[in-house]
Amino acid sequence: MRAWFAGDFEDCLALCERVRPDGIEMRSEIALLRARALLRVARPQEAIDVVRSVFVAHGTLDASLTARMLLGQAYVRLGDAERGLAILEEARGASAAAHPTIRSEIALGIALAHYGVRRLDEAERALDEVSPDADIVHARALEYRAWIAAARSDYAQATEHFRAVLQRLDACRHRDRFLEANATFGLAAFTAERLDRQGWLIVEHRRARIEWSGSALNGLQSVIALAASKMYDIDGRVREALQAAREAEAVAPNAGYALLAQCRRAAVFRLAGERFAHADAAARLRDALDALDPAAWRDTAQHNLLLAVAEEVAYAGDVLSARALLKRYAELPASPLFSLSGNTIETALRAFVEAVIADVEGAYGVAHRHYRDAFRLFAKVGYERRALLTALRLGELTGHAYLFEYVDHALRKLAHGSPLRERGRRMNPELNDPVLTALSLPERSVLKLLCDGKTTREIASARRRSAQTIRNTVSRILRAFAVPDRAALVRECVRRGIAQL
């Protein structure tokens, strides 16, 4: 069990092979542990074979129910969700006298089956049956709730659930390293895109704490390193961003993940203004993808990988290759079970790549339309990193005020050394004024109305706030600009170029 909780499932399987069971009960326990480990390393057919080989040899009700539960889960993971669900429902019907943790684990399997075919409400109802006293099983239920929230594009809720998983694990009797790594991976992916600094601190702490040995954790470690590269990159920490991308490639479990890491490195070069390094990296990406055997990498990575390579190739000016990659993307089969492919984020990413291609071609009207669609989707689900990058370019093309406001809001979450701050200032000269940028968005809105000549009553009505609240806000603005009254404030704003007479 030590290898199991350490997340070293291959070692767990090897140890099970060396054990010589003494009696039915021990044979049953070893077989069930092997089946669990096989499910963790994505070998469901072998798990089915193991369970069926000892199906009549389970000496207790709990062991018999566990065997049926694992069999049902294996069919779900094999892609036959309805068959797996039928087995799991049968096990639930026979579980009245079973241990509460077994009943909770059966409910967890039922939730997984419903989630796999996107019956999300049914999945949540099944999770309601998981007992808070079920220790690690309860922590896994919280993880499933996180992925259900992600499937609904509610990434704020998904982030909170992943935080709850880690807190629950800290209170468990055993430390499940695989589940801890999985929850850290989910938290990393979403906090990096949501520019959630507090959440990222948790990721950094867990990333340093987890012992990453064992092939089962390589994919999780690689994706967490990619998220770290995004966080460092957007803050202008180019060296750390490249180092994290190299780490992601070094631990990649297959060629597809390694190519995603190379895409990340190309993006770092691009955002750092290293034009020739980026063009070289993009050309290597295109050649590597052409040489890649799709059977060598997970199906769930194909959609993201094709879009990621197409984006970098388009930025490098190779429009024909980028369009060919989008055509390959469109011809991919439907996403496999449990994949989040096809959700809001993937739709937004495709619109963004279409926009980049049109932008490079000089078709600015088409680019505007695609950027607008991508920004709307990214902003709607709170993917602030991508929304910021989209808004910056869209603002440069259109000069729309609502984009200035979004950019200003997002830039406040970045480090002062971020190169995107300078780009934001070029897009909106108002961001060059240090006093103005120090004001909150509500304060800035009140300032604009003051400069338009509005009275306190009119501002209160427009802002749907009390007159006293507006007077307090005006007092803070006067202190910020170091002026005695409203007339002096308007003159100062005109002098600074913030307002016009």
CA 455, CA 463: separation in Å to the nearest integer? 12
Concatenate the DSSP letters of all residues of 77-137 into one string. Answer: HHT-HHHHHHHHHHHHHT-TTS-HHHHHHHHHHHHHHHHHTT-HHHHHHHHTTS-TTSTHH
pLDDT of 415 reads 86
Backbone angles phi, psi at 17, to 5 degrees: -65, -30
What are the 10-residue block averages of pLDDT along the chain, 501 residues in total?
Answer: 68 77 75 84 87 64 85 90 92 90 93 91 96 94 96 94 96 89 96 95 95 84 96 94 97 91 96 94 93 66 88 96 93 65 84 96 94 96 95 88 84 86 74 76 85 91 91 93 92 81 66
Concatenate the DSSP letters of all residues of 302-334 into one string. Answer: HHHHHHHHHHHHHHTT-HHHHHHHHHHHHTSPP
Say whether domain 212-334 belongs to CATH 1.10.290.10. Answer: no
Q: Hey, where are the domains in the chain?
A: 1-134, 212-334, 343-431, 433-501
pLDDT of 277 reads 96
Same fold, 1-134 and 212-334: yes
Q: Say how many C-beta atoms besides its own lie within 10 A of residue 457's C-beta.
A: 10
pLDDT of 62 reads 80
CA 290, CA 306: separation in Å to the nearest integer? 11
> If DSSP codes are grouped into helix, strand and coil, which group holds residue 407?
helix
Q: Say how many C-beta atoms besides its own lie within 10 A of residue 276's C-beta.
A: 8
CATH of 1-134, one of 3.30.40.230, 1.25.40.10, 3.40.190.10, 3.30.310.10: 1.25.40.10
Any idea which fold 433-501 has?
Answer: Arc Repressor Mutant, subunit A (1.10.10)
